[in-house]
Structure 1
Amino acid sequence: MRPDECNVTGKALTPDAAQRIQRLAVLARELWLIPILLLATVVRVYGSTASAIWCDEGSSLLMSQYSPSLIWLHSAHDVHPPLYFLLLHTWIDVFGNGIFSIRFMSVLTGLGTVALGVWLVSLIATRRAAVLAGVLLAMLPIAVRYSQEVRMYSLMGFWLLGATIALVYWVKNPARHRYLVIYALLMTASFYTHYFTALCVLSHWTYLLMIRGEKNRLIARPAWWLANSAIVLMYTPWIPGLIDLMQHTEQLKAGGDVGWIPPVTGYSLPSTIWQFLNLTDGLELNRAIYFSLPVALALIAGVVCRRDQGPHKLHVLLVIYTFLPLIVVFLVSWAMPLLVERYLMFSALGLPLIMAIVIDHLERHSRYTAMAALALLLLVELGGLKTNYQTDDEQFDKLVSYVNEHYVANDRIVVSDLFWYFGYRYYNTTGALPLLYTPPQANGASGRPGDYGFGTLVNGDAEKIYLDSLEQLGTSTSRVWLVSSSEPPDDFAPIPGNWTNVSTRNVGDTQVRLYTVHAPSQARLAHTKGEQGTKQID
């Protein structure tokens, strides 16, 4: 009889009691995870409400206001699948749409991702490596950044790390098909969250192909093919919408929803690595320092793969998960630009896990070298967190608040672009529905958004909110607020002659102007008074 099967009196414990004690002992050994999760919570909650809601977040909020059936419909016309918006819809119903609440949903999935990262490393390396992975992942700037945003990237990382853990369990225990059931469910959830999930699928298949020489030949097992077939089957309801979206790529480009990503250069790949770890492109650094980080990481990845003597090559899996999506997107982007760091945030989660394994190995041979490597990496991450927390005092919410405070009944509010429109809708408390300025294009074509991309969120209210010319407001409106970028050229030029500017307020890179609208006779009188005032000043 083992000691843990006896109580203090020496009597034998029941099997249930012994099992409970064993569980408590396991939990007691894992208490070190609590401070790591507290650290992750602090760095994600701190500053989470400091920045104003921006265009993409505003579009998430507007999408979530629809019923689940309409979310499905509009998301099919958007460039992202519906799951995140459906979850946000439910979250807001329960917790409200305050800025802390709506961003805390991403904070929670970010915390879950940290726990999953620790779990993954504990499966493929030592406990010490798992602790290091937790600390480094808790402070990973790209993960913190998108754990503070009302978008789907943090959720996607959570699904895909979870799916990778399920894959590891199955690789270790191929007869346990329940792991593949969990894998299929998590991968399907991720596919319903973001299309770049396909890159993680590519990573997993590549890994299994690389170990195909093993005696088990896991990639050839029917269970693996059935699991992936189940993913396809569960995703089938969404495939018609995806095909329809792909057929309207040109319309999406015309609306600016795709095609806005800049072309890649030779600097794009190392700059993305810097974005992951420091939230800057690194181009302002000395060239030797700029290239040293990505080159060092590439060498480290190679060493990790080469030294992986495990029967399942699970360190190789982690390296493939981390680097293959980045390399594939970089190469594809030479033909069709797709390289945006937030789309690849899920793969960036692997960087601190790899470094934790390397630092743990270094510590066995040279403690000082390991400590220096850890300190250097933490320094880079701290610099990224500092960048993340830096926000301007003059942000878009201040502009909307100014209008809210000075608005009077029957004022009209006109926003020049969808980029500002979604955020304005979130902060607007006047009760008035803001109008969207949609002047004809230079070639005479309509300037209104199409039915795909962001346009799907507002086209249903076209007759209520679209304003093709300022003259359409007529003289029944006495005051008009014009909201636009403060940079030239003026999005609203030319201003009607019977409008008089009475105030202008610049907030950051945006501007709001208040105009009074006169009837033609009043306009001439106002113009005359204006000239007389000018003469008196002269």
Structure 2
Amino acid sequence: MRRSVVEQDEKVSALPVFQRLMWEDAGWISRLWWVPILALAMALRFYKLTSAAIWGDEGSSLLLSEYAASDLWYHAAHDVHPPLYFFLLRGWIELFGDSIWSIRGMSAIPGVVVVGVGIWLTRQLSTRRAAVLAGILLALLPTAVRYSQEVRMYSLLGVWLLGATLALVYWVRQPARTRYLAVYALLMSAGFYTHYFTALCVLVHWAYLGLLSTRRASGPRLITRPAWWVANAVIVLVYLPWLPNLLDLVRHVEQLKVGGDIGWEAPVDLFSLPSMIWQLVVQDEGVGFWPPLFWGFPLLLIAVVSVTAWRDRERYRPASLLALFFLLPLMLVYGVSLISPVFIERYLTVYALGLPILVALAIDRLPTRLSLLGGALFVLFVGAELVGLKNNFTVDEQDQFNMPVEFVNRNYREGDRIVLSDMMWYLSYVYYDQTDAQLQLYTPPKPDGTPTRPNAYGFGTLVDQDGGRIYLDRLSALPADTRRVWLISSTEAPDDFAPLPEGWRELSRQDGGGARARLFVVCNMPQPLPEGCR
């Protein structure tokens, strides 16, 4: 016999500690059970928010947001992400400034909202107890916490896509109320203007409606309803202004590969799937783990997801929806990565939100006799998440990229030159730079003479218009009156700038965050010699 959500609420709790949260008439306190969960989510997302230095991807967000609206649209079109987040970031900075606390706070707040939407979605799909469990697991999910602390679009994307899924659930239950589809179309359109991987969510939703249409039901199938097709047509129409930019970007995939903006990820293999699950939950790829543990934990989670979905007998198949939300993008991106590697944690963080919700449903549906099993699964998952949070928050504030930049700021003199060896260092450096120097990017030709200057796509679009002043193909091409040069490069051998011109003498250096700032004085100059050459 199928159990309704109400019947599930009346059954004995698999986890007695949460039993009291089922009381519907316990007053206003019981109705605010979600407040401490959101408080936990907020505390975790704002904890050590400014500890890690701005890194390259964050720097690119900040550079892009500095453009005027018309220019921002153009440069986002040449980047690998759509423009909505950057427009919002621009407005946010105008209102609240560009301190690290402010710019990362714009990601932390949506990260908290995602937990609230996840609780709301779970409550619509299952019991209050399941919503409590899901809220706790979502609040602690390390990959969600991590990308709620970066100046990127991933937590905002979570709001759009989880919210769209919630709107879809409302419509599935009440198909006559097309306002839910209006909300759905709005949120999915926002998703498409935030990240291209929103297309995976479209596949999830169509697969879910296709699954619902396989069972016998009165009335027309939802997947064939005109309102559903109209909503999707609206999404396409809203996206049409951006479509030419997407097609142009596809035509320039090879240029993006040359610039290192895509294709830098290692090819996938048999170990990549379990490694991804480990990374999502504990922020560690797990490649050095004891083999039975490396394989056992991911397989256990996949088994929980699969069995819960397989045994789903609810009318609207909530467990199946969540299983599709988590597994379908994971498997599709893995499959695509066999051809072109895009199996990257941050691209899948939104879809990882389905895992803790489904674990909560699995625990909630266990009969009383298996309550210990449910408790063990909850403790295991929370324990893994706590390990992941520890990995997230383990930041050496004395070994960050801002350290060498601040060293340069303190010791800079008018007329000094600053040259960086890599675009990723350049993108980060701009945020911390307090000098009046024109930063330059070292772009030495390859031995065969092939240029290494970035092209106008990917990160290159952020500096290409000033390339004549920024790109430096040879250190010997610095102006003849140059006295002192700061070289910013990786701490790893070999030296990115080797061989150095004759007569350069190193005066000082500062390492931090994998980067090294070195001050050189140019000694092969006419008298008088610069200080440090004598």
TM-score, normalising length from structure 2?
Answer: 0.92
Correspondence for 2:290: 286
| Structure 2 residue 222 is matched with structure 1 residue 229 | no
Distance 1:474 1:72 in 2: 35
Give the drift of 1:519: 4.8
1:348 to 346, 352, 358: 352
- Listed as ranges, the gaps of 5+ residues in structure 2 are 1-24
Give the drift of 1:173: 0.4
CA deviations on 1:488-511 (whole Å, 9 max, x unpaired) are 221112212132222222324211
Which moved further from structure 2: 471-480 or 163-172?
A: 471-480
Distance 1:520 1:204 in 2: 68
Which moved further from structure 2: 261-270 or 489-498?
A: 489-498
| Structure 2 residue 160 is matched with structure 1 residue 155 | no
Please state which structure has a larger fraction of its residues in helix. Answer: 1
- Listed as ranges, the gaps of 5+ residues in structure 1 are 1-23, 531-538
Report the AA paired with residue 355 of structure 1.
V
Distance 2:492 2:320 in 1: 49
Report the AA paired with residue 372 of structure 2.
Y
CA deviations on 1:216-246 (whole Å, 9 max, x unpaired) are 4110111111100110000000000001111
Correspondence for 1:270: 274
Instruction: Note the aligned Cα RMSD (angstroms).
Output: 1.9
Correspondence for 1:6: none
Correspondence for 1:189: 190
Which moved further from structure 2: 130-139 or 473-482?
A: 473-482
Give the drift of 1:290: 1.3
Correspondence for 2:17: none
Aligned residues, how many? Answer: 506
Higher relative contact order (CA 8 A, sep 6+): 2
Does the CA contact (< 8 Å) of 1:475 and 1:517 recur in 2? no
1:306 to 306, 310, 318: 310
Distance of aligned partners of 1:86 and 1:105 in 2 relative to their CA distance in 1, 3 Å threshold: same
SS, match of residue 504 in structure 1: strand
Correspondence for 2:174: 173
Report the AA paired with residue 496 of structure 1.
P
Does the CA contact (< 8 Å) of 1:80 and 1:195 recur in 2? yes
| Structure 2 residue 423 is matched with structure 1 residue 418 | yes
Does the CA contact (< 8 Å) of 1:143 and 1:345 recur in 2? yes
Which moved further from structure 2: 342-351 or 366-375?
A: 366-375
Correspondence for 1:536: none
Give the drift of 1:25: 9.8
TM-score, normalising length from structure 1?
Answer: 0.91
Distance of aligned partners of 1:212 and 1:79 in 2 relative to their CA distance in 1, 3 Å threshold: same
Greater Rg, structure 1 or structure 2? Answer: 1
CA deviations on 1:178-209 (whole Å, 9 max, x unpaired) are 01110011001001010011111111111111
Correspondence for 1:92: 93
Correspondence for 1:441: 446
Distance 1:237 1:354 in 2: 37
Distance of aligned partners of 1:165 and 1:488 in 2 relative to their CA distance in 1, 3 Å threshold: same
Distance 1:114 1:211 in 2: 27
Distance 1:31 1:431 in 2: 53
CA deviations on 1:307-349 (whole Å, 9 max, x unpaired) are 2211111221111111110011111111111100110111100
Does the CA contact (< 8 Å) of 1:203 and 1:324 recur in 2? yes
Distance 1:40 1:54 in 2: 24
SS, match of residue 138 in structure 1: helix
Distance of aligned partners of 1:27 and 1:160 in 2 relative to their CA distance in 1, 3 Å threshold: farther
Correspondence for 1:408: 413
Give the drift of 1:433: 2.6
Distance 1:322 1:434 in 2: 43
Distance 1:373 1:192 in 2: 38
1:365 to 359, 365, 369: 369
Distance 1:301 1:494 in 2: 55
Distance of aligned partners of 1:29 and 1:176 in 2 relative to their CA distance in 1, 3 Å threshold: farther
